[in-house]
Structure formats: structure tokens, C-alpha cells
Chain A
């Protein structure tokens, strides 16, 4: 076994020297790509549909990312990289974006992908379907196609994070000839999605597996290297771990494997555990505070709670070291994160008690200062442990926490209806604070909808700073505003940030090129191969 591995590795090295690099970005691979092989992996939970835009849940992004493509991809540092757009330029007034498209791109039904499809996808498809894209794409005043391989988008005012809206998860390019003039949501072709990605849809046995095969007409020469990707649907986490351990699947991602199983897979010599690939999503978890509930509106109380939580305990003991300790409202992999000002209250129970004393909340005969409810996040066991840890930690500083449990649907409804005192939440930042951070803190976004400013935090200064950052096309101005925002929010701590989430991608070591971009396992996998 070992011998074979070594031999293949050696021959691989020899081949690299001979084979010309396909794309400079890939040259880092130390082994020449090889055609063939079927990748078995897992999809959890089973998505309702595979067309990105119609559904944007995590499993749809994972499988849809292989079938569809966006104009751009992003590097780990969130710099745009070419995908369907081979180059792009921004005018001096930062209002006009010109994308040059790759030529020879065809959809899986053989139709050519042209500028018309791109404009249709942006201006019609995602504009109608995506609540995330709509407010941003509606800034586009004019979308034109001077030639079949050029798209020019003109904005009504500069919007600096605009280029972060063009990856496959935010704006997948769909075929105009199939969707134009139909009801996008009920188009029969949704059951057999047609995209331009390296893999095309073959069959989907609900509750069992989803099979994608190599698209022979894919526009990148020699790619994709794999013959097929099979996503198995395995609802039980222990069965998933077993499938990985026995080699039935060669790869798992996202929340397939529970954190407590990761140390075991790290120790297996044939597997590799990667934590990169979540820079675009950059999810931040926090204790969700409802500012309408007294005394949680008092900044000293929130600071005390923040002081009472040992974030490294949460990271190391609950998440087994997967993720990073939060340092502020902006995740360290999101743009404009400023490490010099992002500093949270350190774990210190005495300080916490002093702050509560200062707030006039003295302990009664039983040592209880006040009682609050906590609605546990029903996303699995580790979140329940977090709720229990929260209760135990707050009891130490004299705050009694009563836990409430519910199911996922009821949780989202209660958060959206503001019917909670405290809860747990984790939210994606999409690379830029204007895209993914602003929504939680500005008073204009206090709505009865999940993932808005449901906590009801309102600070005119913060509103103004986010507005400045949104409107300015100048990254220096934006950086200044975001630095100030981080400073103020770390002090005010409107939500008690806990952890920057990461999700382990576990794959066999012989599977190469798996995590190459900030899209992580949602990328197209054209470059992935078995060595």
C-alpha cells in the first residue's frame, strides 16, 4: 500500500516537470492531474432543488456549484479570480463594470453561453428570486452587451463590494433560452438543471443519491478530471462518519461530520482535514440578545455576559478546536477586519460581577440577580451543549438562565417575531461588512424577519457609519468607517459574539486540489482529481 503510494507520487512529480501548467493558479499542485475516477461524497441535508437562485441553502450551493458557474471566484483573501469572466475592468468613476466572458462556453444542452444569458441571470433571474441579490442588483441602472462576449453593467452610484456578488452561490449564470418567459420556480427543467459547470446532472434518487457526470463539452481544456461525482444522502451523523472511515465516501464537507469526530479522522493517515474554504461565507456565531428585554438593553449587562463566557473553552471543548475565537462583529477573514481595534471583553468573572453591581443588579438571597430565558438553537447537539454552557456560565455571575427548546422552524419564526430573550445564532458575512454585517446592527433593518436586526439594537452613529461605508466607492473611506464601527460595537457589544465558524472538509489524501478558493467545497471541482 505504502509502496504504491510512493511510486505514484514519484511518477507524479516526474510528470509535473514535463506537463505545462494549465493555469498559473494551479501550478502550486505538486502532482500532475490524472483523468478518471468517481468521487463519492455526502450531501446533508438533502436539498429540495438544485437550481441556485431558486434555493440558496448550503446543500444546494454544494451540489449546484458543480453544475452552475458564476462570473468570478474568490481567492482565500477574497480577491476576484476569473471563472466565466476571463477579465473585468472598473471605470474611474467606479460606476461601470465591464466583464469579458470566456469564449467556447456551452451549457449542458449544447447552447452557447453568451452575454445575453449573463444579463438575463443578473437582471431577471436573481433579481426576481434572490432576497440577497435584489437590493444590490437593483442599483444596476443599465446592463448592455456590446458583443456576445462582453457585459457592461452601469450602477446608479458606486458600490465598492459589487464584485463580491458574482460567484456561483450569489449569481449563478442560468440558460436564458430555458427560463425566459417562464415561471422560474416551477420550470420543469429545474428537476434536471442545466448549467455550464464541469459536471452535469444525471439522476437524483430522492433520499438515496444524486449523480453528476463529467460534462465533455466543458470549456476548460482537459477538465474536469473526475468521471463522476456521487452525492449520497445519509441522514445520521454516525453513519456518515462510518462511511468516511470505511472509505465508502472519499470526502465529506460542511456539517457532515460532527466536531467531536474530527480528532479521530485527523489521526487517520489516509485522510486530510482542511478548515480553509469558508472565507467567503465567514460565519460568526453569537448569543443573540433581544434589546427590548430589560436589563439586556444596559450595555454593562451585555459586557458582563461577554466577560462571563470563556470563548476558548467553547472553541476547544465544544467545537474541538474547529473555528476561531471571535474578536468583534467582523470575522477576521472578511474584508476591512481591523485587528488593532477588534478586542472583546476577556474572560473575567470578577469584572462581570462588578459591572452587574454597577448596573444596580444586586444578588438576592439565593445569589440571583435576575432571570432570563434562552432559546437554544436546534441545529444539533453541540449547539445544545453551548446553551447549557451559557446557563452554567451566567449562573456563576448571578444570572439565572431558563432554557427553552424548540424545532428549527419554530426557532426561525420566534427569532423573526422577536419572541425571545436570548438565543444563539450564526450568520454569514459574504466577504464584505456591507453585504453581511450591516444587516444585524442598523436600525433601518429592524424587521420581523430572521437574519435582520431582530435584536432591535439602534445607534444613530452606527447607522451613519454603515451608510458612509455603503455609499462610498473609496476603500480608504470605507476602511475608516469600518474601523470606527468595530471600535464602537466591541464596546457596546449588541450581540455577544462567540466564534468564527469553520467547517471541516475531510478527504482522502489521494484526492487533490479540493479546497482552492474561498468558495471551499462549493467550488466547481473541475480541477479535482485522484492522484
Chain B
């Protein structure tokens, strides 16, 4: 474990990313302590520029505190990022494991099904799904999960294909271990490292997708999110640049941090790079 941490820490960018991510998480955690009011509440006059002691990132067109919006928006972004990634991992890993381990016709069937999803532009599909099921937290998470699982399936299938012929798997088969045990105890743990890297990037992607949906007005109208804030501020950008710039910076930093962390994880978990060190 300490070797892993050392390998990770060698990538400076990854450490910076991790720090930013920790800050975002802390912001989300303490949002209700620092801003003990709803982010939808009017806190001052509309269109107050940043620097005001009561609203140091300014207020929006209804006098809502932009800083409070960003803090509460961090919750929504992280929540949606984490939950939708978890759901798509669940779908992707199950299908990938079945395809890779079973092979044959089942493999073909699963892969054609996956390719079917991959041929549809993911953002467009997400828009359609949310529009059909009417925007809410649940429908947004579901839509993001549905459009993000195919890459997971492909990665897991590839890992399973290469691992199931290895000696340790054959040994387990000879020892008479059950199929489930082989899949979950032998193969899956060895396929985890690409999965972890992929997952960190998927969280970033989910946050971007949610922001895009909210920007287009397809967010949950009862949740304050960064994409919504940019969408609401876009039209008045000449009048109040801070309404869209600060949430934009928040999305940028969070997504950048997740990408940096993902890269760091990839480096640290890559055995070839590890040997060279």
C-alpha cells in the first residue's frame, strides 16, 4: 500500500488533483454550516458584483448568493457523479464479466448490444431519456448511467478474455472452485486497476453530463447545480459575468482534478511503470 502511495505521489499533477478534489468534497460537506440557508433563498439585492461581504462571489438575478449556490451545487455534482458511476459500473461489470468469461454466442450477443448503445451519441441519448422521464434527480442519474456503461463492459470483457486463460485461473478450475468464486475471487480483483482509472474519469464525465443537462434546462428544477447556474447566467453574461464564470470555474477545477487523479492512479497501478521505478 505504501508503495502505491509513493508511486501515486510521484505524479505531482495527481497530488494537486487530489487536493482540489478534497477541497470540493469539504465544501460540499460544510455547505449547510457555512451557508445556513437554502441556496434558492434571496440573500441580497439582485446582480450584486463579487466582493460584497455578505455575498463574496456576488448575487444572481434573484439576489441568490452565488457562493452558496456553488457550495450546494458541489453536493449535487458529487452525488450525481458518484451514484451514476456506481450504477454504470454495476451494469458494465456484470455484462463485461458475462461476455468475457462465457465467450461464444453469449459474448457476441452482449457485445452487439453494447455496440448498439455505443453508436448513439451519449449526450443526445441522455437528453432524450431525461426529456421522456421528466427531469428529476432519479431520471438524471439513470440517464447518465445508461449512456456511460458501454466502455466499462468493453474494458472488463477484454480483461476477462486475457485473464481467464492464465495459469492461476486454470489452477482454480482444476481445484474445482465454482464459477462465481473464480469470477469474483480470482479474475475480478486482477481486473480492478483499469477499472479504478476508468471510474475516476467516469465521475468527471458524469459531472459534465449533468452540467450539460442542467445548462439546457433539463436539470432537476429543485436542485441547485453548477450547470443550472451557468445556464441561468448565460443570457445576462454582459450584465453579471460572475453568475456563470464562478460555477464554470468550479466545474473546470473538479473535472480537471478527477482527470489528474485518474492519470495518477493509472500510473501508480501500471505494473510496467512500477517496475521501471
A403 to B224, CA, bound (A): 12
Residues of B close to A388: CB separation below 8 A: 40, 62, 221
A388 to B221, CA, bound (A): 9
Q: Quick check: is A509 within 8 A (CB to CB) of the other chain?
A: no
Residues of B close to A381: CB separation below 8 A: 232, 235
Evaluate contact between B40 and A392: CB separation under 8 angstroms. yes
Q: Quick check: is B277 within 8 A (CB to CB) of the other chain?
A: no
Residues of B close to A238: CB separation below 8 A: 235
Evaluate contact between B217 and A384: CB separation under 8 angstroms. yes
Nearest CB of B to A496, in Å: 18
Nearest CB of B to A235, in Å: 15
Q: Quick check: is B190 within 8 A (CB to CB) of the other chain?
A: no
The residue from A258, A264, A317 contacting B235, defined by CB atoms under 8 A apart: A258
Q: Quick check: is A474 within 8 A (CB to CB) of the other chain?
A: no
Q: Quick check: is A387 within 8 A (CB to CB) of the other chain?
A: yes
Q: Quick check: is A318 within 8 A (CB to CB) of the other chain?
A: yes
Contact with B along A381-408 (1 / 0, CB 8 A): 1001101110110010000001111110
Nearest CB of B to A519, in Å: 29
The residue from B41, B62, B131, B135 contacting A385, defined by CB atoms under 8 A apart: B62
| Size class of the contact patch on chain A | 20 to 34
Q: Quick check: is A459 within 8 A (CB to CB) of the other chain?
A: no
Residues of A close to B193: CB separation below 8 A: none
The residue from A258, A317, A405 contacting B62, defined by CB atoms under 8 A apart: A317
Evaluate contact between A264 and B221: CB separation under 8 angstroms. no
Chain B CB count within 10 A is highest, among A388, A392, A406, for A388
Q: Quick check: is B188 within 8 A (CB to CB) of the other chain?
A: no
Residues of A close to B232: CB separation below 8 A: 381, 384-385
Residues of B close to A344: CB separation below 8 A: none
The residue from A260, A384, A392, A404 contacting B239, defined by CB atoms under 8 A apart: A260
A381 to B46, CA, bound (A): 16
Evaluate contact between A395 and B41: CB separation under 8 angstroms. yes
- Chain B: residues with Cβ within 8 Å of the partner, total of 20
Contact with A along B46-70 (1 / 0, CB 8 A): 1000000000000001110000000
Residues of chain A from 354 to 386 with CB closer than 8 A to chain B in the complex: 376, 381, 384-385
Q: Quick check: is A348 within 8 A (CB to CB) of the other chain?
A: no
Q: Quick check: is B236 within 8 A (CB to CB) of the other chain?
A: yes
Evaluate contact between A389 and B221: CB separation under 8 angstroms. no
Q: Quick check: is A189 within 8 A (CB to CB) of the other chain?
A: no
A391 to B218, CA, bound (A): 18
Residues of chain A from 228 to 284 with CB closer than 8 A to chain B in the complex: 237-238, 258, 260, 264
Nearest CB of B to A159, in Å: 44
A258 to B238, CA, bound (A): 13
**Closest chain A residue, CB of each to CB of B221:** A403
The residue from B41, B61, B238 contacting A318, defined by CB atoms under 8 A apart: B61
Q: Quick check: is B42 within 8 A (CB to CB) of the other chain?
A: yes
Residues of A close to B131: CB separation below 8 A: 407
Assuming the A-B contacts A260-B235, A260-B236, are A392 and B41 also in contact, with contact meaning beta carbons closer than 8 angstroms in the complex?
A: yes
Contact with A along B215-259 (1 / 0, CB 8 A): 001100110000000001001101100000000000000000000
Evaluate contact between B238 and A264: CB separation under 8 angstroms. yes
Evaluate contact between B236 and A391: CB separation under 8 angstroms. no
Nearest CB of B to A526, in Å: 36
Evaluate contact between B38 and A404: CB separation under 8 angstroms. no
Q: Quick check: is B134 within 8 A (CB to CB) of the other chain?
A: yes
Evaluate contact between A405 and B217: CB separation under 8 angstroms. yes
**Closest chain A residue, CB of each to CB of B41:** A392
Assuming the A-B contacts A260-B239, A317-B46, are A405 and B135 also in contact, with contact meaning beta carbons closer than 8 angstroms in the complex?
A: yes
A404 to B217, CA, bound (A): 12
Evaluate contact between A392 and B221: CB separation under 8 angstroms. no
A331 to B52, CA, bound (A): 40
Nearest CB of A to B93, in Å: 34
Contact with B along A294-320 (1 / 0, CB 8 A): 000000000000000000000001100
A387 to B62, CA, bound (A): 11
**Closest chain A residue, CB of each to CB of B240:** A260
Evaluate contact between B134 and A406: CB separation under 8 angstroms. yes
Evaluate contact between B61 and A317: CB separation under 8 angstroms. yes
Residues of A close to B235: CB separation below 8 A: 237-238, 258, 260, 381
A237 to B236, CA, bound (A): 12
Nearest CB of B to A416, in Å: 18
Chain A CB count within 10 A is highest, among B131, B134, B221, B239, for B221
Evaluate contact between B41 and A389: CB separation under 8 angstroms. no
Evaluate contact between A404 and B41: CB separation under 8 angstroms. no
Interface pairs (19), CB distance under 8 Å: A237-B235, A260-B239, A318-B61, A376-B221, A381-B232, A381-B235, A384-B217, A384-B232, A388-B40, A392-B40, A392-B42, A392-B62, A395-B41, A402-B222, A404-B134, A404-B221, A405-B134, A405-B218, A407-B131
Interface positions of B (Cβ within 8 A of A): 38, 40-42, 46, 61-63, 131, 134-135, 217-218, 221-222, 232, 235-236, 238-239
| Closest 5 pairs (CB-CB, A-B) | A403-B221, A317-B46, A405-B221, A260-B236, A392-B40
Extra pairs beyond A405-B134, A405-B135, A407-B131 (15, CB < 8 Å) = A237-B235, A238-B235, A264-B238, A318-B61, A381-B232, A384-B217, A388-B221, A391-B40, A392-B40, A392-B41, A403-B222, A404-B134, A404-B221, A405-B217, A405-B221
